[in-house]
Chains A and B, each alone.
Chain A
Amino acid sequence: MATAMAMVLLGMGAISTSKNLLKTVMSFQVVVFGANLALFASGLSGQSGLVSGSLVFFSIAVGASVESVGLAIVVTVFRKYGTLNPSEIRKLRR
Chain B
Amino acid sequence: MQADVAPLASAALLGTAVAALYSRRVSVSLIMLFYSSLVLGLIFTVYGSILIGLLEIVTFAGAVSVMLLTAVLMTGESDLKMGVGAARASLVGAAVVAAIAASSLVFGQVPGGGATAEGLSPTSVIQFIWLYRPWDLLILLMVFASSMVVVVNLFSREGE
Q: Which of B51-59, B113-121, B129-137, B142-150 contacts A (4 or more CB under 8 A)?
A: B51-59
- In the assembled complex, how far is the CB of residue A66 from the closest CB belonging to chain B, in whole angstroms? 10
Cβ-closest chain A residue relative to B62? A64
Select A30's contact among B36, B49, B52, B77, beta carbons within 8 Å: B36
CB-CB under 8 A from B56, the residues of chain A are 36, 60
**Interface-central residue, A6, A33, A67, by most chain B CB under 10 Å:** A33
Cβ-closest chain B residue relative to A27? B21
Q: Could you tell me how many residues of chain B have their Cβ less than 8 Å away from some Cβ of chain A? A: 35
Instruction: Say yes or no: A67 contacts B67, CB within 8 Å.
Output: yes
Instruction: Say yes or no: A64 contacts B74, CB within 8 Å.
Output: no
Instruction: Say yes or no: A56 contacts B72, CB within 8 Å.
Output: no
Given A26-B68, A40-B47, A53-B49, are A84 and B14 neighbors across the interface (CB < 8 Å)? no
Q: B97 within 8 Å of A by Cβ?
A: no
Interface of A is mostly: helix
Q: B87 within 8 Å of A by Cβ?
A: no
- In the assembled complex, how far is the CB of residue A27 from the closest CB belonging to chain B, in whole angstroms? 6
Q: A42 within 8 Å of B by Cβ?
A: no
Instruction: Say yes or no: A3 contacts B20, CB within 8 Å.
Output: no
CB-CB under 8 A from B14, the residues of chain A are 3, 6-7, 10
Q: B33 within 8 Å of A by Cβ?
A: yes
Given A23-B21, A33-B37, are A3 and B10 neighbors across the interface (CB < 8 Å)? yes
Q: B64 within 8 Å of A by Cβ?
A: yes
Select A64's contact among B10, B21, B60, beta carbons within 8 Å: B60
- In the assembled complex, how far is the CB of residue A19 from the closest CB belonging to chain B, in whole angstroms? 11
Instruction: Say yes or no: B67 contacts A23, CB within 8 Å.
Output: no
A2 vs B13: C-alpha distance when bound (angstroms): 12
Show the binding face of A for B, using Cβ within 8 Å: 2-3, 6-7, 10-11, 14, 20, 22-23, 25-27, 29-30, 33, 36-37, 40, 44, 53, 56-57, 60-61, 63-64, 67-68, 71, 74-75, 78, 84
- What are some 19 contacts across the A-B interface (CB < 8 A)? A3-B13, A7-B13, A11-B17, A22-B26, A22-B71, A25-B68, A26-B29, A27-B21, A30-B21, A33-B13, A33-B37, A33-B40, A40-B44, A53-B49, A60-B59, A60-B60, A64-B63, A75-B75, A84-B77
Q: What 5 A-B pairs come out closest when comparing CB atoms?
A: A14-B21, A3-B10, A71-B71, A78-B75, A64-B59
